Amino acid sequence: MAEVITMPRLSDTMTEGKVAKWHKKVGDKVKEGDILAEIETDKAVQDFESEVEGTLLYVGVEEGNAAVVDSVLAIIGKEGEDISGLTGGAAAPSTSEDKKEEPKAEAAAAQEASTEVPAGVEVITMPRLSDTMTEGKVAKWHKNVGDTVKEGDLLAEIETDKAVQDFESEFNGVLLKQGVEEGGAAPVDSVLAIIGPAGTDVSGVGAAKPAAASSEKPAEQKTEAKTEEKAAPVANASSSDRVAISPLAKKMAQDKGVDINAVQGSGENGRIVKKDIENYQPSAKPASSAPAASGAAQVALSFVQGEDTESQNSQVRNIIAKRLSESKFSAPHYYLMVEINMDKAIEARKEINSLPDTKISFNDMIIKATAVALRKHPQVNSSWAGDKIIHRGNINIGVAVAIPDGLVVPVLKNTDQMTYTQISAAVKDMAGRAKNKGLKANEMEGSTFSISNLGMFGIETFTSIINQPNAAILSVGAIIEKPVVKNGQIVVGNIMKLSLACDHRVVDGATGAQFLQTLKTYLESPLTLLL
């Protein structure tokens, strides 16, 4: 029986999707895991792969057109099968008339890019790389006008409100025009670049109108290739070493804590697809050799006696300042502190690290214990939403990582279902890529609870500002040898202080205290995590 494939919701803010490119035509055979089309969402262009096998019988949205989420995208079934009863209610592909209702920013971009675009020329617009991004700044161009560009080549580094991200070309040709100067900014959907055949006249194609370029010289960026929308992230890898993986398989790998570098792909050209992640069996090979998740201080400034200096804020630092201020002044913070005896945790870590190819940190143990404690205290894993409180169905822990521009919070999805080694590998990978500005925006979204650890700097105790929309954040201090009373005797104990900042609108004092009691039990008696 024919299967109706609907326009997928590829992000929580997506209301419609545009078919950027069809990879299958009506009449083509389709296998599970094959790429059907490239769908342009409100955040990025993503591959959409088939989960059924058969023949593509119907295309509900023409290439270049858009349709609302859950409308008919395609129908797959047996060759020659009658689908007239299914196509009757199909959403007609969007027409140019529909596009008149698009947001003003998109309309302006369409106006800039003249309809008289020469044959073979592609107009590339400033991408929306996060749901809060309204404009992007070109931190660095990696291609100059006149350079040959291939699909997958790094065009530029785009600074968003969250991070600096690599932007890669989806087309082959010659870079004919740069719509935004290096160091300049432009709104989302305005002209970023034009690519086409060498010598093509693009003077008639609308020029972008970027914001004035900053007077600051953009910081020198590392040119190692980082991540891409259509390939899974690999720290410090060259373009030829990227891992080809579908978005669905990538998400499953992140949810399961699977190291995609160890997975053998069965799709086109060795591409990793859904079934590869489902059938993956981990080996004893170390999960990651990425740098440890230690903190990184801000870039050191030169001190000159009697001379005041200035440094322009990056967009990352500006947005951090804005959000921390909003959190501190809108959410009524209160703080709970507790001391943890880490003697048994130290012994447990020694035993775990004695296993072959295994090395975990105390931070990994704290993340795991916190995730399991959140299961028993779902109120702490909640968010304030005005007239209601949202109790999150997944436990996604954000781990604060210091970078030269400020602070980013990579997110471990479904942390409570991850093992120590999976947590360790994921934290090392994301922390390493965060410092190299290689994280994607979607890897920093969706947290339900956050952890900040300054113990590696010898800080015994501190408090943090809640990472909205979370209702709490845990601050972790250093493990310090101190005299403690044990069985009536004064002995040396290894003590660690935890501080929990809570949003009083969501988490009452008693609820926060009970959560800390459970976490204390798990850390002081690690075996209870197995119960």
Residue 405 is among the residues annotated as catalytic for this protein: no
Residue 512 to residue 398: CA distance in whole angstroms: 18
Asked if 57 contacts 77 with a C-beta cutoff of 8 angstroms, the reply is yes
H/E run at residue 497: strand 489-503
Residue 277 to residue 281: CA distance in whole angstroms: 9
Phi, psi of 269 (to 5 degrees): 55, 35
Q: What is the distance of C-alpha 2 from the center of its chain?
A: 35
Residue 406 to residue 34: CA distance in whole angstroms: 41
Phi, psi of 325 (to 5 degrees): -65, -45
Residue 406 to residue 427: CA distance in whole angstroms: 18
Residue 5 to residue 52: CA distance in whole angstroms: 9
Asked if 83 contacts 26 with a C-beta cutoff of 8 angstroms, the reply is no
Asked if 194 contacts 200 with a C-beta cutoff of 8 angstroms, the reply is no
> How far is it between the farthest Cα atoms of the chain?
87
Question: What would the DSSP string read from start to end of 369-412?
Answer: HHHHHHHH-TTTTEEE-SSSEEE-SS--EEE-EEETTEEE--EE
Residue 23 is among the residues annotated as catalytic for this protein: no
Classify residue 530 by its DSSP letter.
G
For the chain, the distance separating the N- and C-terminal CA atoms, rounded to the nearest angstrom, is: 46
Amino acid at 326: E
- Quick one: 27 exposed, middle or buried, by C-beta within 10 A (0-12, 13-18, 19+)? exposed
| Residues written for the chain | 531
Q: Give buried/exposed letters for 289-308 (b at 16+ CB in 10 A, else e).
A: ebbebebeeeeeeeeeeeee
In three state form, how does the secondary structure of 154-186 look? EEEEEECCCCEEEEECCCCEEEEEECCCCCCEE
Residue 193 to residue 208: CA distance in whole angstroms: 9
Strand, helix or coil for residue 236: coil
The tokens describing 235, both together, are: 């720290």
- Quick one: 398 exposed, middle or buried, by C-beta within 10 A (0-12, 13-18, 19+)? buried
Catalytic residues: 504, 508
